[in-house]
Chains A and B, each alone.
Chain A
């Protein structure tokens, strides 16, 4: 009995399947290659500013709404009332996209608080009295094994780009980097101004680690500056 399938055009018996070189290169990129940032801004039309950052499969989007006028609440204490009148309130909301799975270990509230504290020291909120600035951060893609520190650093950088896109007044552009359990956010290199620090593990050799992170952040800052100057 003839077992050759005559309905299909089969290749010669010594045929070798085609291998695409690009495929292997992509795999290497995710494991060894230096972090490359892909940036885009102004993606959300009905917002005041927006940005989307991608690095090694981690995709984060930040949308800025504001400054929006707020109706002062007359019931709370005089402290809150006076603060509301003299400067803008700044809120950050961090959420994971419903498409992302495996983020049970991520503490989104902690991330939102850390990011908010960074921008409270960077934004000139006094310039926007009786108003509110709201930032919505969404993690659109989270590859397996990406630590919380990297998400925090990336979210900070994403908000920085979104705030520049919105045109809100800032003292400088904060840039964040994460490595070995330390997340460092630098606002100004000349004045040695650090606006965010999270150390999750040992503090052995903290001074040299901070210096190393500062140097690393300069590279990220250069990339962000180049993108913003385009």
Chain B
């Protein structure tokens, strides 16, 4: 998007003042309305589709495969692939998103969650496809939250077949067998446990203010940005400063960083609650 000098100046004045006025009348820590559905892909263990009002849309799918465990590293059991429509597989955003998501998931998913028996474990293939995004977007990092939400919902809706064979197979040569009744399948992230996949929140810095979930116009005038992770009901790693456009970059202050963490800390819980309600209300059609 190309803003004229007047538009840019007007937007900058509105967003950098002591009383922030966003173009879509949101608060600084308010998300845009999100439309999401779960479990709509018949061949996946979990899936989701998330849409934003600006036309951005992302589909995520989780597939599980039983593999023989060779190492105790969780990263070996997680395959994360992000695809952005119109972007090459080796494009910077595509590679970065895959590595960021894998890194944050590996920190939050314990090995015990994927382990089936002493010899076998589930290997998760998490695929996210960004079908559409606003034209003239200055940085793909603005859709990182969208992708992370899609992955969160897909993982939360992932159900795995019930293991019927023994879990102690260290001494015996036995391949795991499963119940073919999908009504008995268990969720990868059970509702009664605090454990949940991580979410990533993108914040744009304009003057002394931080704006959560920046729109395309706000990205144009953003002076810097940050993404902050949210897992186990608190803000945390990964945190990284990101450049949201290539024109007017400035540095962050320590207060910006601490504000970003506290903003995500206060907002994360309600976002999580809203996303969980989508998972609970969705019914599998298959």
B253 lies within 8 A of A192 (CB):
yes
Expressed in whole angstroms, the minimum distance between the Cβ of B86 and any Cβ of chain A is 12
The interface on chain A, measured as residues whose beta carbon lies within 8 A of the other chain's beta carbons, has a size of 39
Q: Is A33 an interface position by the 8 A CB rule?
A: no
Q: A113-B96, A188-B251, A195-B251 are in contact. Are A200 and B246 (CB under 8 A)?
A: no
Among B241, B255, B256, B261, find the residue whose CB has the most chain A CB atoms closer than 10 A: B241
A120-B243 CB under 8 A given contacts A82-B2, A194-B254? yes
Q: Which of A70-119 contact B (CB under 8 A)?
A: 77-79, 82-83, 87, 89-90, 107, 109-110, 113-114, 116-117
Provide the bound-state CA to CA distance between A87 and B263, in Å: 34
Contact of B240 among A90, A181, A188, A199 (CB under 8 A): A199
Bound CA span A131–B31, Å: 38
Q: Chain B interface residue count: which class?
A: 20 to 34
Tell which of A89, A110, A200 touches B237, judged by Cβ atoms closer than 8 Å. Answer: A200
B236 touches A202 (CB 8 A): yes
Residue in A83, A89, A117, A203 whose beta carbon sits within 8 Å of that of B242 in the complex: A117
Q: Given A82-B2, A117-B242, A197-B226, is A207 in contact with B250 using a C-beta cutoff of 8 Å? A: no
Within 8 A of B (CB), among A157-212: 181, 187-188, 191-203, 206-207, 210-211
For B235, B242, B256, B257, the residue with the greatest tally of chain A CB atoms inside 10 Å of its CB is: B257
Return chain B residues, CB-CB under 8 Å to A198. Answer: 238-241
Q: What is the interface of chain A mostly: helix, strand, loop, or mixed? A: mixed
The CA of A90 and the CA of B255, in the complex, are separated in Å by 28
Q: In the complex, are the beta carbons of B261 and A121 less than 8 A apart?
A: no
B125 at the interface (CB under 8 A from A): no
Q: Is the CB of A197 within 8 A of B96?
A: no
Please report the C-alpha to C-alpha distance between residue A114 and residue B95 in the assembled complex, in whole angstroms: 13
Interface of B is mostly: mixed
Residue of B nearest to A83 (CB): B246
Q: Kindly list chain A residues whose C-beta atoms are within 8 Å of the C-beta of B238.
A: 198-200
CB–CB B239/A121 < 8 A? no
Task: Please state if A197 and B236 are interface contacts (CB–CB under 8 Å).
Answer: no
The verdict on B23 contacting chain A, using a C-beta distance below 8 Å, is: no
Chain A residues lying within 8 Å of B235, measured Cβ to Cβ, are 203
Bound complex: CA of A144 vs CA of B103, how far in Å?
A: 21
Residues in A neighbouring B250, C-beta threshold 8 A: 121, 193
B1 interface contact, C-beta 8 A: yes
Q: Taking each of A117, A188, A193, which has the highest tally of chain B beta carbons within 10 Å of its own beta carbon? A: A117
Residue ID in chain A nearest B265 by CB atoms = A203
Q: Are B95 and A194 in contact (CB under 8 A)?
A: no
A31 to B250, CA, bound (A): 37
Assess whether A207 is in contact with B239, with CB atoms less than 8 Å apart: no
Q: Contact check: which of A78, A110, A201 meets B99 at CB < 8 Å?
A: A110
Known contacts A78-B2, A199-B239: A121-B96 contact under CB 8 Å: no
Least CB distance from A191 to B in Å reads 7
Query: Across the interface, which residues of A come within 8 angstroms of B241, CB to CB?
Result: 117, 194-198
| Contact A197–B240 (Cβ < 8 Å) | yes
The answer on a CB contact under 8 Å between A202 and B243 is no
Is B237 a contact of A83 with CB atoms below 8 Å?
Answer: no
Evaluate contact between A187 and B251: CB separation under 8 angstroms.
yes
In the assembled complex, 15 residue pairs joining A and B whose CB atoms fall closer than 8 Å, in A order, are A79-B1, A90-B246, A114-B240, A121-B249, A181-B237, A191-B251, A194-B254, A195-B249, A195-B251, A196-B241, A197-B241, A200-B237, A203-B261, A207-B258, A210-B257
B interface residues with partner A (beta carbon < 8 Å): 1-2, 92, 95-96, 99, 103, 135-136, 138, 224, 226, 235-243, 246-247, 249-258, 261
Contacts A77-B135, A109-B99 supplied; 6 other A-B pairs, CB < 8 Å: A79-B1, A121-B249, A193-B250, A197-B226, A203-B239, A211-B254
